Amino acid sequence: MQHTFKADKPCRLSTFLRQNGVSRSLMCALKQTECGITVNGAPAHTDYMLAAGDIAAINEPSEHDYDITPSPLPAVPVIYEDSELIVFDKPPLMPTHQSMGHNDDTLANFYAHYTNGSVFRCLNRLDRDTSGCCLVALSRYGVSAVSGTVSKTYYAVCEGEMPPQGVIDLPIRRCDDSIIKRECAPDGQQARTLYKTLAVGRGYSLCEITLETGRTHQIRVHFSSVGHPLAGDDMYGGSRGDISRQALHCGRISFITPADGKRVTVRSPIPQDMRRIDEELFAGTGDI
């Protein structure tokens, strides 16, 4: 896959490529590839001094992942696609990656089918039960170029009545007796969750959530730690009386696409199993 960039003023090639989203690690890898980096069609060292009007290019070799079996089913809706990025609307109860017992029913399997075996570069891995926007880059350049520009908005239904808004700032670590479960503890990694309560009713709250850090199970652990576990999240104290999975959905993702340098915002409506917990919670919230 080739990516080209036109210089508008004199500049060192390495600096110019970094300004255009090429990470140092990708640059190092391309140096080991024949014609991995070129200027005006000719191989060039990253110390090369570009002139205004020069065309620099990086040429990524084709990569395929033959360990993932392509599978057309279950099909996953594509809600955004350009030459560098795809956003899938992952349904609940679908794993993102393959694992024991899930060899052909994951988002990775469908992606392999959709792209004829391209390497799966998922940028916001969602838990199996969590639904919504899942961003995947089509190349190593796509990964490096979009890095640092992505913001996500989650929606959760939690038990009890949450304050109108707030910040949960509690460190998180892995529980000593589990490889999966997390807990808040003073010796954990810093974790910070911001929320706004959109509606309250019938023993539940609908919250809009953004993350300043990205720890494993962060939203689930933080809400449980303040006494408001997510509905359906029995790992962290929630009841499955009204929903059979944690009521968590990535409803919005925003990023600057390398394709044209513009900010894109993609939305996924909250699925029906979350809405059925209490339809009144969602009255007047528009199409979230």
- Residues annotated as part of the active site: 127
Q: Give dist(CA 109, CA 93) in Å, integer.
A: 15
Residue appearing with tokens 């390398």: 258
Q: Give dist(CA 185, CA 234) in Å, integer.
A: 20
Select from 247, 224, 254, 10 the least CA-distant residue to 146.
Answer: 254
- Name the burial class of residue 97, with classes exposed (0-12), middle (13-18) and buried (19+) by CB atoms within 10 angstroms of its CB: middle
Residue appearing with tokens 């009713």: 201
Torsional sign, CA 119, 125, 128, 132 = negative
Q: What is the DSSP string of 109-141?
A: HHHHHHTTSB--EESSPPPSS-EEEEEEESSHH
Select from 122, 155, 111, 135 the least CA-distant residue to 281.
Answer: 155
Are 130 and 235 a contacting pair, CB within 8 Å?
Answer: no
Are 254 and 246 a contacting pair, CB within 8 Å?
Answer: no
Per-residue b or e along 194-208, where b marks 16 or more CB atoms closer than 10 Å to that residue's CB = ebebbbbeeebbbbb
The residues near 31 (Cβ < 8 Å, ≥ 6 apart) are 37, 46
Query: 85: which strand partners?
Result: 137
Helix (H) or strand (E) holding 78: strand 78-81
